[in-house]
Amino acid sequence: MPTIIQVAAMAGVSTATVSRVLSHPDRVSETTRLRVLEVVDSLGYKPNVAARTLRTLRAAKILVTVPDISNPFFASVIRGAEEAARDAGYAVVVGDTRHDPSIEDQYADMLSSREVDGLVFLGHRLPDNLRPMISKQGARAPVVNGCEYSPDIGVPSVHIDNAAAGCDALEHLVRLGHRDIGVVTGPHVSPISRDRLAGAIQAAERHGLRDRLQVRVGDYSAQSAAGHVSDLIAQGVTGLFCFSDEMAMGAISAIRQAGLSCPDDISVIGFDDLPLARFFQPGLTTIAQPKGRIGHQAVELLVNILRGGESLVSQITLPHELVIRSSTRAIG
């Protein structure tokens, strides 16, 4: 592997000039620039990134951690993040934490060891070993939270208004005439799940349906929702609001297995608007999140911090949208 020294020797210039040709072309005369570039090409020289990082204190890499990479929702967020990162000259390191705090910590260490310049974490838990950094550097710490958001951890974040979204979903079911409504939430530790539930409860109260609301706890997986279905059917539920499309699909599958039909017997509304939601049968009514934009903006926020930007915008709320397809229908 050629080094800058060999390039310099072969081009008959100093290493400084070679470096300048590559990073500040305008500070070098055209003739030498061309000559150097020719040597660079012929040798196939590529600067050693470790050496550069060591010298410049910049790894040009951003870490994005997700609790579950096989969740299509996160895949879309990552894609947005990756795009924004590439535009800003950063590569993305993806960490799949599998909801495991020790793996989260492991990845967070990459920040402390300067393997990456910043972190976007898509989950609700701020890794413990980042606490000191956050409390020391405050909003200038290169850490951004995506999707979820916890006001208490003091980290900028990008998300939708989950309470409003929860409210919208429930309102939609009520508007269709449903009175006995079931809700399958995410885990209680998830702030966005709590927000959605709060929104849903508030809407239910507004219509005097608080007492008839059947709330069950899921974990965003299809299985977890399917498991609650027979119980909810027994309770006479006609409308069901699941906090993820996967759970909605699981629930619909279970409804069918119970010999009932969605939407004829039970209307189901999901959350996220996964790419497959429209191809599911029945087409899934759902709350669409701007997945790509969430990732995109989270990275932009982070890059801003890394550039020492003063912005200090700490919370970005993006719009959600109720997408009505055929898994919900007026009662009767």
Partner DNA sequence: CGCAACAATGTAATCCTTTACATCCATATT
Partner DNA sequence: AATATGGATGTAAAGGATTACATTGTTGCG
**Span 289-328, contacts to its own copies by CB under 8 A:** none
What are the φ/ψ torsions at residue 25 (nearest 5 degrees)? Answer: -55, -30
Tell me which residue has tokens 């100093």. 14
Q: What is the DSSP string of 183-239?
A: EEE--TT-HHHHHHHHHHHHHHHHTT-GGG-EEEE--SSHHHHHHHHHHHHHTT--E
Q: Is 134 helix (H, G, I), strand (E, B) or coil?
A: helix
Based on the shown chain and the rule CB under 7 A, indicate whether residue 202 belongs to the binding site for DNA: no
Among 37, 39, 45, 216, indicate the residue that binds DNA (CB under 7 A): 45
Q: How far is the CB of 135 from DNA (least distance, A)?
A: 22
Q: How far is the CB of 114 from DNA (least distance, A)?
A: 8
Return the number of the residue (57 or 208) whose C-beta is nearest its own copies: 57
Q: How far is the CB of 249 from DNA (least distance, A)?
A: 48
Return the number of the residue (47 or 187) whose C-beta is nearest its own copies: 47
Radius of gyration, alpha carbons of the chain = 25
Q: How far is the CB of 56 from DNA (least distance, A)?
A: 5
Return the number of the residue (132 or 236) whose C-beta is nearest its own copies: 132
Among 27, 188, 206, 307, indicate the residue that binds DNA (CB under 7 A): 27
Residue 321's Cβ-count burial label (10 Å; 0-12, 13-18, 19+) is middle
Stretch touching DNA by CB under 7 A, among 2-10, 79-87, 261-269, 282-290: 2-10
Tell me if 255 sits within 8 A of 266, measured CB to CB: yes
Based on the shown chain and the rule CB under 8 A, indicate whether residue 72 belongs to the binding site for its own copies: yes
283: which residues sit within 8 A by CB, 6+ positions away? 277, 325, 326, 327
**Which amino acid, 48?**
N
Based on the shown chain and the rule CB under 8 A, indicate whether residue 88 belongs to the binding site for its own copies: no
E strand or H helix that includes residue 3:
none
Among 41, 89, 279, 308, indicate the residue that binds its own copies (CB under 8 A): 279
Based on the shown chain and the rule CB under 8 A, indicate whether residue 134 belongs to the binding site for its own copies: no
- 75 contact, one of DNA, its own copies, none, CB 5-8 Å limit per kind: its own copies
**Span 233-272, contacts to its own copies by CB under 8 A:** 246, 249-250, 252-253, 256
Tell me if 241 sits within 8 A of 209, measured CB to CB: no
- 110 contact, one of DNA, its own copies, none, CB 5-8 Å limit per kind: its own copies
Residue 90's Cβ-count burial label (10 Å; 0-12, 13-18, 19+) is buried
Going from the C-alpha of 31 to that of each of 11, 24, 41, 207, 282, the distances in angstroms are 11, 15, 16, 78, 66
Rounded Cα gap, residues 176 and 332, in angstroms: 9
Tell me if 125 sits within 8 A of 104, measured CB to CB: yes
Based on the shown chain and the rule CB under 7 A, indicate whether residue 31 belongs to the binding site for DNA: yes
Q: Which residues bind DNA (CB under 7 A)?
A: 1, 3-5, 12-20, 22-24, 27-29, 31-33, 45, 47-48, 51-52, 54-57
Q: Which residues bind its own copies (CB under 8 A)?
A: 1, 44, 46-51, 53-54, 59, 61, 69-72, 75-76, 78-79, 82, 86, 91-96, 103, 106-107, 109-110, 112-115, 132, 222, 226, 246, 249-250, 252-253, 256, 275-276, 278-281, 283
